[in-house]
Amino acid sequence: MTNPANEQSGHQYKQACNLQGQTASPVELDACQFLANQGFEIWRESLRPLFDLEPAAGERLHNFAAQTRTFSIGDLLIADSRSRGHVIWRGGERPGSAGTDLLLLQLQLQIQGEGHAINGGRTMALVPGAISVIDLADPYLEEDHGFRCLTLAVPRARLGEEAAAGRPGGLVLSPTQPLARILTAHLLAVWDSLSDLNAGETPAVVNGLLHALTEVIACQGQTLRRGSPAPVLNHSALLAYIDRHLQQPLDAAHLCRAFGCSRSVLYRLLATEGGVSAAIKKRRLARAYHLLGNPALRHLSLAEIAMRCGFSDQSHFCRAFRTAFALSPSQARLQLSASAASTGPADLPRFRDWLLSV
């Protein structure tokens, strides 16, 4: 996953961080250290090598908060991250992007409300203590209302043959499972010891983590193959479908036909979104905000952005956008452009380029 343009700077950075045989010092990023209107954009650009981000519909960007503290140990990464107020997604294998050969093992430390994510065609229920496997070669979608997690990033080639050959994305260990409790203790012990870890001990720690992850994938993969497939109809699946079809006419009847469900089931699943119409509008507005902040799409008129997000009328789009974000689409575009210009190359790349280089 090395980016040639960043290889030299990344190597120099890692050399500078290795002190007296100890493992590399952590690299940290805190969106709260920037101006209120800059934090989200800096966070999004920094994580873009792995994920795409959009603000969650209805979230005020001045409320956005996110932090990550990341160590590299051998060819693995381990990070303690927390954030709230955005949608996290990835379209699977993307030309020129990093991470398609990575698996993420994620331990949920804290989560606000009921969390769900979709990866590898499977829906993952995210609760405190759950451990999930995310395959970055497959599409990923999660709406984050507030979480803290410990994430281990592992190159696929470093796993055992059976684990590396499959697509284990979407596997979840429940916190009630003994295997989850054992693995949680292992991950937390490694994290707590990283600041004291020396270069001679690193290979043993890395091999222990790799062996644990390989066994989890092998064990859970067999259980999954014996069990029934993950349910197709749920809250996350509905939101993912809406996101994929925002440019089309969408309503309750359309979704009922697509999922073969009744209106009562549909409305129950989307009750936390304010209902079907509210859910669709929120996703359309979130997509519009993302498009307005994309420098490569500055040539698009507001009418074209409205159309791409499923609004047939520009005036209606502008009114709905102002209600949701407390500023007009034109003001949002100017604000996002100014934020991108003011952060500049000197402020953004350190975490992003380090992430690419390792």
- Where exactly are the structural domains of the chain? 4-33+64-230, 235-344
| Residue 99 backbone zone (phi > 0: left; psi -120 to 50: alpha; other: beta) | left
> Which CATH topology does 235-344 take?
Arc Repressor Mutant, subunit A (1.10.10)
CA-based nearest residue to 102, from 173, 158, 46, 27: 158
Q: Looking at residue 118, what is its pLDDT?
A: 84
Taking only the tens of pLDDT, the chain with its 358 residues reads 333 333 333 333 233 333 333 455 788 888 878 766 677 888 888 887 888 877 766 556 666 788 999 998 888 999 999 987 777 887 654 433 455 578 899 999 998 776 788 887 788 888 899 999 998 888 888 876 688 999 999 988 787 665 656 678 888 888 999 989 999 999 999 999 998 888 889 899 999 999 888 888 877 765 544 343 443 577 877 887 888 788 788 999 988 887 778 888 899 889 989 999 999 999 999 889 888 887 767 788 999 899 989 998 899 999 999 999 999 999 999 888 776 555 444 444 456 656 655 5
What span, in angstroms and rounded, lies between the C-alpha atoms of 30 and 213? Answer: 29
Q: Would you list the DSSP string of 225-267?
A: HHSPPPPS-SHHHHHHHHHHTTTS---HHHHHHHHT--HHHHH
Please tell me whether residue 91 adopts helix, strand or coil conformation: strand
Tens of pLDDT, residue by residue over 19-66, are: 333 455 788 888 878 766 677 888 888 887 888 877 766 556 666 788
* pLDDT value, residue 184: 95
Distance, CA of 28 to CA of 94 (rounded, Å): 26
pLDDT for 162 equals: 59
Let me know: does 155 contact 99? Beta carbons within 8 Å: no
* Whether the domain at 4-33+64-230 and the domain at 235-344 fall into the same CATH topology: no
Whole-structure pTM value:
0.61
Superfamily of domain 4-33+64-230: Jelly Rolls (2.60.120.10)
Q: What is the per-residue pLDDT for 60? A: 60
What pLDDT score was predicted for residue 251? 92
